[in-house]
């Protein structure tokens, strides 16, 4: 395979984020072509493929994986299918980009990692904040020692409101498995080389208190202690009425970096009400350059044969914290990561 030939990539799961990912591959990447879309929902793959001039659409994912012309897949199905799809794709010899969470159990995380290793294919996970310019520059500043030794870290996710989803359709523990998993990866990445040792999580249904009795959680705060002494806080809420608000902060012995801005741009409107700014409303807008960069890097990894971005092992490390959070909420106590690792 020519090193310069665009990677033939298939999308698995043509839902909200899969549609955005497919548009990025089709319209913004020069090192990949959208070769197929697969989705079991009748018509979903065909509609998206047709709109993006993609030649192949499948309702049967296995049939797509049997196509030898497909070199790589982007998995954007619901989370509970990720591990089996990643394993099947790796076993079919495809390079794997898997949306987060790669797995919901450590056993499944190990299965995905092993399948990619045995097949000799790259496995990259969708922790897109690492590719955002502000977060990447913050990471570089920390790595260059500009803030000294990290002491306090903070990462937050506030999804745009008003919250309109049906809580009954949201899988249990989504706030940890699918929302805060981004923050856990961000904190691990920014506090590079340190290992988390203890987690304490508090979670509630402050947006939809009526759904609390059925297990719905939409608000959480997590503290994480690391073995280098640093203490981190991660927090999430499903309904920020002012927009999609993603921020990070690392305070150290010699300074601080802050990352993320809910404002869309540096434009300010000055009028009779004062000064105002428009805000980000969608992840697919605010992170479009980060998603583009993560896919461009993945395609390079496919050609090079090794991943430079977030790996299966990184997904497993973030999952350990999510699992500790769940135990902490269930048992209302701090949970040692050793408990999670030994189970
Ligand atoms: N990295 C990010 O910023 C980001 C943002 C949003 C969502 N996500 C993740 O992406 C995943 C998808 O989220 P979404 O909001 O697009 O969901 P969605 O429900 O909108 O779309 C899921 C799609 O997968 C299809 N599907 C269902 N079962 C399937 C299977 N077995 N095989 C293949 N396809 C299947 C569905 O028909 C649907 O079209 C979730 O894991 C979510 O956490 C990541």
179-228 pLDDT, tens digit each: 999 999 999 999 999 999 999 999 999 999 999 999 999 999 999 999 99
For ligand 1, whether the C-beta of 126 sits within 6 Å is yes
Are 251 and 325 contained in the same domain? yes
Residues 97 and 137 both lie in one domain: no
Q: Is the CB of 22 under 6 A from ligand 1?
A: no
Q: Ligand 1 centroid vs 79 CA: distance in angstroms?
A: 7
Residue 271 in domain: yes
- Claim to verify: residue 67 and residue 166 sit in the same structural domain: no
Q: Is 128 in the pocket of ligand 1 (CB under 6 A)?
A: yes
Residue 4 has what pLDDT?
Answer: 81
Q: Is the CB of 243 under 6 A from ligand 1?
A: no
What is the rounded distance in angstroms from the CA atom of residue 78 to the CA atom of residue 165? 15
The answer as to whether 246 is a domain residue is yes
What pLDDT was estimated at residue 322?
98
Same domain, 176 and 212: yes
b/e map of 36-75 (b: 16 or more CB within 10 Å)? Answer: bbbbeeeebbbebbeebebebbbeebeebbebeebbbbbb
| Model pLDDT, residue 308 | 83
Same domain, 173 and 258: yes
What percent of the chain lies above the pLDDT cut of 90? 97
Does 323 lie in the same domain as 175? yes
**Residue 3 pLDDT grade (very low, low, confident, very high; cuts 50, 70, 90):** confident
Whose CA is closest to atom 27 on ligand 1?
Answer: 77
Phi, psi dihedral angles at 225 (to 5 degrees): -100, 135
Distance of CA 209 to the CA centre of its chain: 27
For residue 2, pLDDT over 80 is answered with no
- Tell me how far the alpha carbon of residue 12 lies from the centroid of ligand 1, in angstroms: 9
Q: Is residue 143 part of a domain?
A: yes
Average pLDDT over all residues of the chain = 97
Tell me the C-alpha to C-alpha distance, in Å, between residue 66 and each of 11, 70, 71, 91, 93. 14, 8, 11, 10, 10
DSSP bridge partners of 10: 36, 73
Ligand 1 atom nearest the C-alpha of 19 is 16
Give the CATH number of the domain where residue 28 resides. 3.40.50.720
Residue 92: give the domain boundaries.
7-128+290-309
Averaged pLDDT, 90-116: 98
Does the pLDDT of residue 119 top 90, yes or no?
yes
Q: Is residue 205 part of a domain?
A: yes
Asked if 185 and 302 sit in the same domain, the reply is: no
66 lines ligand 1 (CB under 6 A): no
As a whole number of angstroms, the distance between CA 287 and CA 244 comes to: 10
* 1, part of any domain: no
Q: How many Å apart are CA 129 and CA 108, to the nearest integer?
A: 24
CA of 13 from ligand 1 middle (Å) equals 6
Q: Is the pLDDT of residue 45 over 60?
A: yes
- In a shared domain, residues 199 and 338: yes
The span from the CA of 223 to the CA of 207, in Å, is 21
Same domain, 71 and 110: yes
Same domain, 17 and 83: yes
At residue 307, the pLDDT reads 84
Residue recorded with tokens 């496995």: 123
Using the Cα atoms of residue 269, residue 273, residue 277 and residue 281 in order, give the sign of their dihedral. negative
Q: What does the pLDDT read at residue 1?
A: 53
Residue 12: φ, ψ to 5°:
-115, 110
Q: Is 87 exposed, middle or buried (0-12, 13-18, 19+ CB in 10 A)?
A: buried
Contact 212, 181 (CB under 8 A): no
**Res. 343 pLDDT band, cuts 50 70 90:** confident
* 224, 188: one domain: yes
Question: Which residue lies with its CA nearest to atom 39 of ligand 1?
Answer: 15
The answer as to whether 2 is a domain residue is no
Q: Is 242 part of any domain?
A: yes
Q: What is the mean pLDDT of residues 82-100?
A: 98
Which residue's CA is the nearest one to ligand 1's atom 18?
A: 15
| 310 in contact with ligand 1, CB cutoff 6 A | no
Ligand 1 lined by 18 (C-beta under 6 Å) = yes
Looking at the structure, do residues 119 and 171 belong to the same domain, yes or no?
A: no
The b/e string for 218-247 (b: 16+ C-beta within 10 A; e otherwise) is bbbbbbbbbeeebebbbbbbbbbeebbbbb
Provide the number of structural domains found in the chain: 2
- Domain contains 56: yes
Separation between Cα atoms, residue 302 and residue 9, nearest integer Å:
10
User: For residues 257 and 141, what is the distance between their CA atoms, to the nearest angstrom?
Assistant: 8
Q: Residue written as tokens 């991660």?
A: 234
- Residue 273, domain CATH: 3.30.360.10
Q: Is the CB of 171 under 6 A from ligand 1?
A: no
Alpha helices in the chain (DSSP H): 16-28, 44-51, 61-65, 82-91, 106-119, 133-143, 174, 180-190, 283-286, 288-304, 312-331, 337-342
Q: How far apart (Å, rounded) are the C-alpha atoms in residues 308 and 125?
A: 11
Q: Compute CA 233 distance to the chain's CA centroid, rounded to the nearest angstrom.
A: 18
**8 A C-beta contact, residue 171 and residue 208:** no
Q: Say if ligand 1 is within 6 A of residue 159 CB.
A: no
HSE value, Cβ hemisphere, 13 Å, CA-based, for 38: 21
Confirm or reject: Cβ of 99 under 6 Å from ligand 1.
Answer: yes
Closest CA to 100 of 192, 9, 174: 174
């Amino acid at each position: 395979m020519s090193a310069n030939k665009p990677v033939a990539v298939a999308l698995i799961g043509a839902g909200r984020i899969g549609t955005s990912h497919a548009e990025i591959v089709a319209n913004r990447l020069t090192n990949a072509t959208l070769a197929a879309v697969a989705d079991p929902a009748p018509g979903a793959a065909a509609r998206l493929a047709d709109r993006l001039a993609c030649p192949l659409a499948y309702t049967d994912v296995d049939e797509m994986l049997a196509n030898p012309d497909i070199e790589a897949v982007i998995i954007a199905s619901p989370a509970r299918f990720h591990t089996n799809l990643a394993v099947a794709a790796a076993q079919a010899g495809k390079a794997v980009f898997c949306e987060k969470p790669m797995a919901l159990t450590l056993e499944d995380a190990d299965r995905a990692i092993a399948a990619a290793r045995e097949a000799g294919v790259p496995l990259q996970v969708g922790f897109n904040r690492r590719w955002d310019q502000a977060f990447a520059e913050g990471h570089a500043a920390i790595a260059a020692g500009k803030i000294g030794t990290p002491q306090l870290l903070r990462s937050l996710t506030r999804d745009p409101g008003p919250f309109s989803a049906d809580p009954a359709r949201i899988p249990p523990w989504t706030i940890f498995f699918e929302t805060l998993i981004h923050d856990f990866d961000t904190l691990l990445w920014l506090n590079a080389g340190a290992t988390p040792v203890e987690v304490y999580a508090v979670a509630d249904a402050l947006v939809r208190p009526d759904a609390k009795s059925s297990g719905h959680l939409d608000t959480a705060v997590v503290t994480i202690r690391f073995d280098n002494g640093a203490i981190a806080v991660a927090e999430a809420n499903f309904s920020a009425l002012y927009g999609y608000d993603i921020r990070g902060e690392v305070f150290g012995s010699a300074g601080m970096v802050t990352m993320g801005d809910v404002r869309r741009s540096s434009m300010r409107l000055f009028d009779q009400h004062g000064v105002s700014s428009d805000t980000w409303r969608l992840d697919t807008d605010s992170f479009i350059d980060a998603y583009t960069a993560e896919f461009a890097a993945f395609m390079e990894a496919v050609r090079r044969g090794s991943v430079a971005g977030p790996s299966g092992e990184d997904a497993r490390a973030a999952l350990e914290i999510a699992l500790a959070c769940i135990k902490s909420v269930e048992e209302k106590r701090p949970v040692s990561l050793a408990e999670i690792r030994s189970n």
